[in-house]
Amino acid sequence: MPYFDAASSAPLHPVARQALQASLDEGWADPARLYREGRRARMLLDAAREAAAEAVGCRADELVFTTSGTRAVHAGVTGALAGRRRVGRHLIVSSVEHSSVLHAAEVHETDGGTVTQVAVGRTGAVTPQAYAAALRSDTALACLQSANHEVGTVQPVAEVADVCREAGVPLLVDAAQSLGWGPVAGDWSLLTASAHKWGGPSGVGLLVVRKGVRFAPQGPADERESGRAAGFENIPAIVAAAASLRAVQAEAAEEAVRLRELTDRIRARVPEVVGDVEVVGDPVRRLPGIVTFSCLYVDGETLLHELDRSGFSVSSGSSCTSSTLTPSHVLKAMGVLSEGNVRVSLPFGAPAEDVERFLQVLPGAVAGVREKLGAPAPETAVRGDSLVVDAVGKLCPIPVIELAKVIGDVPVGGTVRVLADDEAARLDIPAWCAMRGQEYVGEEPADQGSAYVVRRWA
């Protein structure tokens, strides 16, 4: 069964498996002890730290191992903010950061700090100018992912790092998605990553704090990992994580060319074989293995089930696939369709024939879902210059489907008011207008939910 969700978690790399098994017999003891077994464990831990530091591009004494990438982010954000508390309590993040960064920002704000979210364009990228405009005299820390986890867009980290450095503000980079492809360029100050994203074992994260960065670890003191990551080190997993990071980086240049060709094929072919679809994310500045597209009139969860039945494991940013039942914050920030969203993230070694079979299966899967949901066919009847569509109580994509069914019933210049109480409609109706060349007039209050006004231009 083709696994196309490597951005969530990559399959365990063969080198990671070998290193894990080899170190189980040697890395079980306490590396802080001076007896023989402890010294063996310490040697393994030190060697792994050196290898990981070389792969990151930092000093070994700047890198510590944590229990996850999320834990690394939380420790990095809280420690950097605490270390610069005398400067101020202002934090800058982008609107498309991983939830671990945004959750840390929420806690900081609840605790009395201030947070600025830097907006992104329709491709999901920030601009250095936007970060420069967000900087203040009391800014303690700025955060920016190296590449987006949902759409693959690569961020201008080096340029933003220069802006922050000039202002004397440290930049924390979440490199979880990109580190397997190589070190992060730029004069950043802190960096976090997660081993299971590059084919290492789960339960291992990296936190790098450059020398000279003010940092005050939060929580109870612990002598492990320079006091920055509490708890007994999982040395076999750490060894496997470091070994696999070196292995995938050694393969990255050649594999990037191959996977980029496959994702370019998907980006080009999907709009040809599926109607009413938008490929999202930057077409050039993106990770090699990720391609994301949104299909109109499709329920994301249903589409994923259809693809799963056809033998393909893919992911989605659609609201229906989230435990919170709210639209993806990444897609929302980009202003693109949240329903019918499919993310294909190819693992190292993904066969080209699997991609071809996916492109053969996808049109039928989308058509089947659209038929079940009653997707619209073109209409030409004219009933007046204004219509009201009552979609209250119906989840997206139904409000969008109902809008599409009647937009042809009003003359050019006429309006349709869609009544809906599903939060996803606030994102999907403007996104539909952008995709179909219609004018989104705006949102108005209604007795239940909101009224979304659309003017027909085509």
As annotated, the active-site residues are 320
CB 97 within 8 A of CB 174: yes
Rounded to an integer, what distance in angstroms lies between the CA atom of residue 339 and that of residue 53?
A: 40
Position 3, amino acid: Y
Rounded to an integer, what distance in angstroms lies between the CA atom of residue 257 and that of residue 346?
A: 13
Q: What's the 3-state SS for 294-344?
A: EECCCCHHHHHHHHHHCCCECECCCHHHCCCCCCCHHHHHHCCCCCCEEEE
Of the candidates 21, 49, 25, 78, the residue with the CA atom closest to the CA atom of residue 224: 49
CB 208 within 8 A of CB 181: no
**Tally of CB atoms within 10 A around 42:** 19
In the chain, count of helices (H) and strands (E)? 12, 14
Report the half-sphere exposure of 92 (CA within 13 A, side-chain side). 27
**Tally of CB atoms within 10 A around 198:** 26
Peptide linkage before 397 cis (omega within 30 of 0): yes
10 Å CB burial of residue 29 (0-12, 13-18, 19+) is middle
CB 334 within 8 A of CB 119: no
Rounded to an integer, what distance in angstroms lies between the CA atom of residue 343 and that of residue 128?
A: 27
10 Å CB burial of residue 441 (0-12, 13-18, 19+) is middle
As a 3-state breakdown, the chain gives helix, strand, coil percent values, each rounded to 5, of 45, 20, 40
Q: Which two tokens stand for residue 283?
A: 């077409």
Q: What is the DSSP letter of 57?
A: T
